[in-house]
Structure 1
Amino acid sequence: MAKEKQLVLKDAEITNNCPECFNQELKLTFYQKHIYNAFYHKTTGEVSHEIKCKKCYSLIYPVNWTPDIERVFEYYNKLVEPDKKSTRFTTLFFVLLLILLALVGAGIYLYLEGII
């Protein structure tokens, strides 16, 4: 079963007012989705974001954003550089591939020798 993780790309402390409690301590976080499996680790190009107030701990959704928050978000969105999309195979994958190739090679050898 594949596990999905959201790894942090960038954190930023912004000083805009929270729409809920009007505090000036907000945290903007960008995440990138990674998928882990027994056979491979995959980095996707999917980037998500979250703005959270540090005082009232509420998530600020795009519907509640002020024009100031939108400007700051656009600025930091340009700064974020996600990791390249990639797939890395694990050692288990290569061991199973090697065993499979050895079995196929042994089967062909036995067939050519007339044993099978």
Structure 2
Amino acid sequence: MMTPDEPPLLGSRWPILTAQIVAALRDDGENGLAEQVAALRVLRMCECDDDFCQSFYTQPPPDGAYGPDHRNVAPDPSWPGMLILDVVRDVIMFVEVLYRPPLD
């Protein structure tokens, strides 16, 4: 059970998006990352104010760049648009959701 201070799980906030991310990661052979998705929490939305961006942090944002252990994973999503995950030491830190119909 979630306490009032805990950020929502991705799956409870956006179940369709959650399933789409898992499917895209599995299709891309990123099974380890796909297994993390059910436990991801939406800590904070991106603050860029771009109308095409619905990205969010799943871990606290870094002070500056993520560093040498960072990689981008860009599986092909099932929607028109882009999905890019910022991954550090095989942990999903940030989920970029770009040019996608509004999340609701």
> Which of the pair is proportionally richer in helix?
1
Do the structures match in fold with TM over 0.5? no
Q: Which has the larger radius of gyration?
A: 1
> Which of the pair is proportionally richer in strand?
1
The TM-score with structure 1 as length reference comes to 0.23
The TM-score with structure 2 as length reference comes to 0.25
